[in-house]
Every structure is written in C-alpha cells, then in structure tokens.
C-alpha cells in the first residue's frame, strides 16, 4: 500500500510540473505576442520566438 501511495504522489507531482511548465510557456508567448503587437493592427503578422503569428483582435470589455 505504501508503494502505491508513493507512486501516486510522485505521478501527481510530475504531472503538476508538466502542467505548470506548459502554462508558463503559454504565458510567455502571450506576453511576447502582446509586446510585438503593441503598435500593430489586429490581423497583422509579427514574428514571435521565430514563429509568424497574427495579432489578435482587441478584447471587448464586457463592463459598461
């Protein structure tokens, strides 16, 4: 039982590290894209980390 519990905890830890790494990479990409698109129009193509990406449409603020 102890080995099973240790294996489950270790597996959860490894899965958590994988998820946090991918979320950090996504956050970095979003920040880099926002910085590259600062003075561009929505739909313009910019190069971010060696990849061609399109600037997103401005988000509509839901609050009025």
Domain hosting 45: range is 16-54
In a domain, residue 35? The reply is: yes
Handedness of CA 18, 24, 26, 32 (dihedral sign): negative
Residue 48: strand pairing partners: 51
Tell me what pLDDT residue 64 has. Answer: 47
Residues in the chain with pLDDT values less than 70 = 17-19, 59-64
Residue 52: strand pairing partners: 47
In a domain, residue 23? The reply is: yes
Distance between CA atoms of 64 and 53, rounded to whole angstroms? 31
Tell me what pLDDT residue 38 has. Answer: 87
Total domains, the chain: 1
In a domain, residue 21? The reply is: yes
Tell me what pLDDT residue 48 has. Answer: 86
């Amino acid at each position: 039982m102890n080995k099973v519990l240790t294996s489950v905890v270790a597996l959860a830890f490894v899965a958590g590290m994988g998820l946090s790494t991918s979320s950090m990479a996504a956050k970095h990409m979003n920040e880099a894209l926002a910085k590259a698109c600062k003075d561009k129009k929505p739909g313009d193509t910019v190069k971010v980390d060696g990849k061609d990406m399109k600037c997103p449409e401005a988000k509509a603020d839901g609050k009025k």
